[in-house]
Amino acid sequence: MRVILLSIKPKYGYAILEGKKKYELRKCVNAVIRPGDVVLMYFSSPVKAILGCFRAGKVYVASPEEIERIVRSLGDVGVDDEDLSYIRGFRKVMAIEVKDPRPCRKVSLERLRELNIRPPISYQPLTDDVAKILLKECGIDYILHEHGQGDRGATKEEGARGMAAGTKKIEDFLYSDSSEGD
């Protein structure tokens, strides 16, 4: 399990916390978010604070066209046309299942700056030390005790199963880290 800091528009963050948005779409900008990762949501302007978190469930990694097909096949998961337009034009994107969304103690941008933490443009895995500090600030430091901390991060190249031409099964796009031995 890793801890990820993810910047999100307030309307989508609130939809996640209310249980209306069940998948979050992201461009793959660095390490792939993995099932079981804890995702801290930094609500962008005008909120400018961490207000909640969720645990990543299934993670699909594919082209924007395949992710759109997958998301549409899942039914009403709270992903709209604005979400889908956000991922178009990129080579590889993710659909992250939202599990166990919950609010947390508010951590303002000012407090993050005091801690020398800068919210990412999209998302960023946190080092163990920063994760421990931030989880404690959010009032959810029990996660470290329940699940342990310190897994290696997935690389940008990992998680692209199913990218071969002609693949049509949704399961082919599920993220899988062979080092964890499902």
pLDDT of 65 reads 96
Q: Which of 77, 37, 41 is nearest to 57 (CA)?
A: 37
Please say if the pLDDT value at position 102 is more than 90: yes
Q: pLDDT class for 154, splitting at 50, 70, 90?
A: very low
Listed in order, strand segments (DSSP E) in the chain are 3-8, 23-27, 38-43, 49-62, 93-108, 123-125
What are the pLDDT digits (tens) for 158-177? 333 333 333 345 666 776 65
Distance of CA 131 to the CA centre of its chain: 15
pLDDT of 81 reads 92
pLDDT at 162 (0 to 100): 32
Predicted confidence at residue 83, as pLDDT, reads 92
CATH class of 3-152: mainly beta
Would you say 56 and 33 are in contact if contact means Cβ atoms under 8 Å apart? yes
- pLDDT on residue 144: 53
Residue 86 CA: distances (Å) to CA of 39, 40, 160 = 20, 20, 19
pLDDT of residue 171: 62
Give every strand in the sheet of 93-108, ordered side by side.
23-27, 93-108, 49-62, 38-43, 3-8, 123-125
Enumerate the domain spans of the chain: 3-152
* Least-confidence region, from 13-22, 24-33, 54-63, 74-83: 24-33
Give pLDDT, residue 139.
Answer: 93
In this structure, of 26-35, 54-63, 74-83, the range with the lowest mean pLDDT score is 26-35
